[in-house]
Chain A
Amino acid sequence: MTSRAGVVRAFVAKDLRIHARDRFYVVVTIVGLAFFIGVFWLLPDTVDETLHLGVHLEDAPAEVAALLDADEDEAGLAVEVFRSSADLEDAVRDGDPVVAGLDLPAGFLAALATGQDASARIVLRADAPEELRPALAAMVRELAFAVSGQPPPVTVPDLDEVVVGVDRAGAQLSLRDQLRPVFVVIALFVEMFALASLVAGELQLRTITAVLTTPARISDVLAAKTVVGTLLAFSQAMVLVVATGALVRGLPLLVVALLLGGILVTGVGLIAGSIGRDFIEVVFWSLVVGLPVMIPAFGALFPGSVSTWIQVLPGHGLVQIMVGTTARGEGWTEAAPHLGALAGWCVVVFALGVAILQRRVRRL
């Protein structure tokens, strides 16, 4: 007597064996994991928010240099004094860490103190943020007021800073935290592609026709493909998460999110594998259907710039949970809406994949 569980187990074992014998995916999986893990640990794990400025003041008195140095750390500003204009320009050209500088010529301070005209040079790297120019100009003006002993033309009012929402100042994501979801989603994507190939192979070779003239049902095939797809995707993602040291907190939440992510890409794999009629078409449809899963991961590289349309894409919930849990220590409460959205997308995408696969099988 054939049991449903026995049929599904047989199918899962067969699919895993076929997958393990596909050199392309074995190589892509191993090399991909090694590459992502290696790159991850090479990336900086801290965010340096200090702005490094260089100053060359030809005849600077010691007390002026000390005054400049006093601002370090307090305002996220570090000033480095250079002996010559050439040294300053070289440092700015290198850009590490000095990104801009003030070149104050000989007699600059004396001219200011005596009320004479004075000029200064602002030195900027070509890729320096646009906002630096007015900021440096303001610095020179402040310096002029301080040296000349005259007050600024207006009285600067006291300012209260109000940040609406969660203030991320001082808690920016490191490059590692930004890239972790990208790596995980790419790993999921590779396994999605592997599942799509398994499904497409079953249809192209018409082995599924042979299977469906045995006591096995299409529901058994779908169950097995779901198990295989989710297992492959989830295990790859977990390996990455563990290897990138992200399991220090929120383990159950991460496991649930990655399981849902595995189911999501399984649904995408069913769609791509059912539509694609050969290798090229499978690649094409995997990219077309898989992009909405991948795009939000790249959005994590640009915090604060995630557009509304990206927020409704299938992969957004997964990325937000990963970032929130691994980098910000968020828990179930903060993740709940993202989990809900992710689960909703799983249902939609998986149902679509099942419907398309069933239609293809009927038309064989």
Chain B
Amino acid sequence: MGPALVAEGIGYDYDGTLAVDDVSFDLARGEVLGFLGPNGAGKSTTIKLLTGQLEPRSGRISVLGMDMPRQRGEIQARIGVCFEEKNVYPSLTGRENLAFFARLFGLHDVDLDELLARVGLEERGRDRVNRYSKGMRQRLMVARTLLNEPDVLFLDEPTDGLDPVSARTIRQLIRAEADRGAAVLLTTHDMYEADQLSDRVAFIDRGKVLALDPPEELKLAHGTRSVRVRVRTGEQIEEHVLPLDGDGGAAELQALVEAGNVLTIHTEEATLEDVFVAFAGRGLT
């Protein structure tokens, strides 16, 4: 069985302004691919291209072995898209929102109560969405994304601005969907989330993919390992950051330990943000 999604050299511009530039990657079934980049990097445009909202100016997209946009209808029946905007109908209830989208998929036997329970909205399903909090709307959107048990999930900043409890609920759902066998493309600028959830991470900036690897590999290959040591010197407390790679760091650490004034020692590794800065020359915000 081939990859769930293949993008080969796709490109797109808005009236001459390049938004996606020769982007290539693939996504396996059961894999979570984190798409990381600052605002305006081209993440959302890439998702629009992959989900058939836009047609690429160049390149080729294959989803579940079908060509996008030529087989858009068949592909869209088997994917789920969660948007950054809270685009639900506020004057309908949560259940009515889900029921409407279920009918667009031609589904008549979806257990809406079970779906609402999965996102923790079982008590609020019959309330109108205009009485929902931002987190509840986001959870409803995730529930909507799962209506058709999609083979490929596109999640655009699914936990943006959510409280920790809502964010954790959604992260658990994403992991569960990947375990079910769904391929998940997750765009975010939350490094922690990407690190926790992604099997691989793609850095995207100015429309280009700068790097694409598992997070651990990226951090090991492009970050620096170090230890942070706090030492008492008379009345003062000094802090030393010592690199673990290379010669000098280990010897200095040994000397500090032998001096007997060490208060704390913490190992530190590079964050994805550090790695992104190393690639892009700027941060994610």
Contacts A1-B106, A18-B91, A206-B85 given; does A214 touch B101 at CB 8 Å: yes
Interface string of A1-25 (1 = CB under 8 A from B): 1110011011001100110011000
> Across the interface, which residues of A come within 8 angstroms of B76, CB to CB?
213-215
Contact with A214, one of B83, B90, B105 (Cβ below 8 angstroms) = B105
Q: Are A10 and B83 in contact (CB under 8 A)?
A: no
CB distance from A207 to the nearest CB of B (A): 5
Q: In the complex, A215→B87 CA distance in Å?
A: 17
Taking CB as reference atom, which chain B residue is nearest A212?
Answer: B53
Contacts A1-B106, A18-B89, A213-B79 given; does A10 touch B52 at CB 8 Å: no
Taking CB as reference atom, which chain B residue is nearest A208?
Answer: B87
Contacts A210-B81, A210-B83 given; does A215 touch B92 at CB 8 Å: no
Q: From A14, A205, A214, A215, name the one whose CB has the most chain B CB atoms within 10 angstroms.
A: A214
Interface string of A212-246 (1 = CB under 8 A from B): 11111100000000000000000000000000000
Contacts A209-B53, A217-B73 given; does A2 touch B104 at CB 8 Å: yes
CB distance from A226 to the nearest CB of B (A): 18
CB distance from B105 to the nearest CB of A (A): 6
Q: In the complex, A21→B90 CA distance in Å?
A: 11
> Across the interface, which residues of B come within 8 angstroms of A213, CB to CB?
51-53, 76, 79, 81
> Across the interface, which residues of A come within 8 angstroms of B211, CB to CB?
none
Contacts A213-B52, A214-B101 given; does A206 touch B106 at CB 8 Å: no
Is residue B192 within 8 Å, beta carbon to beta carbon, of the partner chain? Answer: no
Is residue A211 within 8 Å, beta carbon to beta carbon, of the partner chain? Answer: yes
Interface residues on A, range: 20 to 34
Is residue B77 within 8 Å, beta carbon to beta carbon, of the partner chain? Answer: yes
Contacts A7-B103, A7-B104 given; does A209 touch B87 at CB 8 Å: yes
Q: Are B106 and A207 in contact (CB under 8 A)?
A: no
Q: Are A215 and B73 in contact (CB under 8 A)?
A: yes
Interface string of B70-101 (1 = CB under 8 A from A): 00010011010101010111111000100011
Taking CB as reference atom, which chain A residue is nearest B14?
Answer: A363
Contacts A210-B81, A213-B51, A213-B81 given; does A3 touch B89 at CB 8 Å: no
15 of the cross-chain contacts (CB-CB < 8 Å) are: A10-B103, A14-B89, A18-B91, A205-B88, A206-B85, A207-B89, A209-B87, A210-B88, A212-B53, A213-B52, A213-B76, A213-B81, A214-B101, A215-B77, A215-B105
Residues of B whose CB lies within 8 Å of any CB of A are: 51-53, 73, 76-77, 79, 81, 83, 85, 87-92, 96, 100-101, 103-106, 144
6 smallest CB-CB distances across A and B, nearest first, come from: A2-B106, A10-B103, A214-B104, A206-B87, A213-B81, A216-B104
| Given A205-B89, A206-B87, A215-B106, 9 additional A-B pairs, CB 8 A | A2-B104, A6-B106, A9-B103, A10-B103, A206-B85, A207-B88, A213-B76, A214-B76, A215-B104
Residues of A whose CB lies within 8 Å of any CB of B are: 1-3, 6-7, 9-10, 13-14, 17-18, 21-22, 205-207, 209-217
